[in-house]
Amino acid sequence: MTYTVTVDPSGAFLTLQNPHATHRFHAIWLRDNAGDPETRSTANGQRLITLADIPQDTAIGHGAIKVNTLEVQFAPEAKSVAYDIAWLIAHAYDTSLPQQRGRTPADVTTWNAAKMGDVPVADFLALTNDAVSLCNWLGSVNQYGFGKVIDGPVAEGALFKIVDLFGFVRETNYGRHFEVRTEVNPTNLAYTGLGLQAHTDNPYRDPVPTVQVLYCLESSAAGGDNMVVDGFAAAQRLRDENHTYFDVLADHAARFEYAGEKGVHLTSRRPMIELGPDGELVSVRFNNRSMAAVTDVPFDKMATYYAAYRRLGEIIDDAAMQVSFRLNPGEAFVVDNTRVLHARKGYSGEGTRWLQGCYADKDGLRSTYDAMRNALEAAE
């Protein structure tokens, strides 16, 4: 693609143009993002200067295209910097993106029950032995917020082998991992048919554990299927049904609390629907069991807040939003706990169910995915 460059007479910005697109870049943005060895370390890519090292009156003196490179001369430093045009285009900010509240990041795809037939699944051996399989599966987890693993070892602690694929365990007061063991006894109504509403885990932590791994070791009871709901899809459905409901949950902090064991009192103050400053969905927190008294909603909005909370719960409980699947021994699932809610459906009959769970971090998963993808693309 052939570009031309035009420097504004003020020197404050330049314009890169081809027949299909026009991108403006400010002098200060270009200078701050210079990749020359005096500005960025050639060893680790980290910036070596602060903004104070760049003159406040930085301006573009001259700009020229040389093949795939844009050369810029900055005044008053009399400094010349070359930019890869493809990099500039990939990082262009002169766009008029729709700024709808509640939109998802570009690399996220929302889903509902129709995803049931297309759960991201990978074979344990393939994940451990084949970089392409692992990269693809991590990409799916990043995109959809959950993924299943099959054909893993039926052994205590095998869940850590899943975490080893992409990151590190996040230890909490529940330990490095926790046991989810259920004896299903139909004579005890407390257990028979007991399901849990879909939820995100540990919203009372700050930050929350961003990834959860659940690994099945025994599953002889009928029922007890696992179920997941895309919290981003639920939030968007709430928004599309009733903007006021969406706004009241996004604009006010909820409170979450756990003090269920000696020496522990975890609290957080965060909205159920968390947005970035530009309205992009950041996370969803939903957990009826650990919601504390909400005190950050004004009196005249509290009734609306509760109506919105109730409606969000109804959307989450709607079968049309839910993907369920059974976990057999040696199978596991990974969820993005900032987005995807999970639940256990009720049981019937007798039997046992034993899962081990642990937490890990989403930034590690994304880091592993991005680094693997870049390495695989570079090797092509």
From the list 198, 226, 222, the residue with the least C-alpha distance to 327 is 226
Residue with smaller CB distance to Fe ion, 201 or 361: 201
Q: Measured from the CB of residue 183, what is the shortest distance to Fe ion in angstroms?
A: 19
Q: Which is nearer to Fe ion, 201 or 336 (CB)?
A: 201
- Enumerate the H helices of the chain as residue ranges: 27-32, 85-90, 124-129, 131-144, 158-164, 231-241, 243-250, 299-317, 362-379
Stretch that binds Fe ion, among 76-84, 201-209, 249-257, 271-279 (CB under 5 A): 201-209
The nearest distance, CB 56 to Fe ion, in angstroms, is 52
Does residue 336 bind Fe ion (CB under 5 A)? Answer: no
Concatenated DSSP letters for 159-202? HHHHHHTT--EE-BTTBSSEEEEEEE-TT-TTTTT-----B-S-
Closer to Fe ion at the Cβ: 201 or 230?
201
Segment lying near Fe ion (by CB under 5 A), choices 55-63, 184-192, 200-208, 284-292:
200-208
Residue closer to Fe ion, measured from CB, 143 or 290: 290
SS in 3 state form for 280-335? EEEEECCCCCCECCCCCCCHHHHHHHHHHHHHHHHHHHCHHHEEEECCCCCCEEEE
Stretch that binds Fe ion, among 139-147, 197-205, 224-232, 314-322 (CB under 5 A): 197-205
Residue 51 and residue 55: Cα distance in Å, rounded?
8
Phi, psi (5° rounding) for residue 327?
-105, 120
Question: Which range, of 116-124, 147-155, 193-201, 316-324, touches Fe ion by CB under 5 A?
Answer: 193-201
Task: Considering only residues 271 through 290, tell me which ones interact with Fe ion, judged by CB under 5 A.
Answer: none
126 vs 196 by CB, closer to Fe ion:
196
Distance CA 281, CA 101 (A): 8
Minimum Å distance from CB 197 to Fe ion? Answer: 10
Tell me whether residue 16 or residue 343 sits nearer to Fe ion (CB atom).
Answer: 343
Query: In angstroms, rounded to a whole number, what is the distance separating the alpha carbons of residues 284 and 250?
Result: 9
How big is the CA angle at 355 (ends 352 and 357), to the nearest 5 degrees? 160
- Closest approach of Cβ 227 to Fe ion, in Å? 11
SS3 36: coil
Q: Which is nearer to Fe ion, 4 or 173 (CB)?
A: 173
- Draw the binding track, 93-112, toward Fe ion (x: CB under 5 A; -: no contact): --------------------
Q: Which is nearer to Fe ion, 201 or 331 (CB)?
A: 201
Name the closest residue to Fe ion (Cβ).
201
- Piece of the chain touching Fe ion by CB under 5 A; list 13-21, 178-186, 198-206, 303-311: 198-206
Which residue's CB is nearer to Fe ion, number 252 or number 339? Answer: 339
Minimum Å gap between C-beta 172 and Fe ion is 13
**Spatial distance between the Cα atoms of 335 and 30, rounded to a whole number of angstroms:** 38
Classify residue 255 as exposed, middle or buried by CB count within 10 Å of its CB (0-12, 13-18, 19+). Answer: middle
Q: Which region, judged by CB under 5 A, interacts with Fe ion, from 19-27, 183-191, 199-207, 321-329?
A: 199-207
Nearest to 24, CA basis, from 38, 44, 5: 5
CB of 82 to Fe ion, least distance (A): 51
**Count of residues that interact with Fe ion, criterion CB under 5 A:** 1
In the complex, the smallest distance separating the C-beta of residue 341 from Fe ion, rounded to whole angstroms, is: 9
315 near 234, Cβ under 8 Å? Answer: yes
Nearest to 286 by CA among 201, 380, 359, 364: 201
Q: Nearest approach, Cβ of 261 to Fe ion (angstroms)?
A: 17
Q: How far is the CB of 202 from Fe ion (least distance, A)?
A: 8
CB of 32 to Fe ion, least distance (A): 43
Using CB under 5 A, pick the residue from 122, 201, 333, 353 that binds Fe ion: 201
Which of residues 201 and 247 has its CB atom nearest to Fe ion in the complex?
A: 201
Q: Which residues sit at the interface with Fe ion, rule CB under 5 A?
A: 201
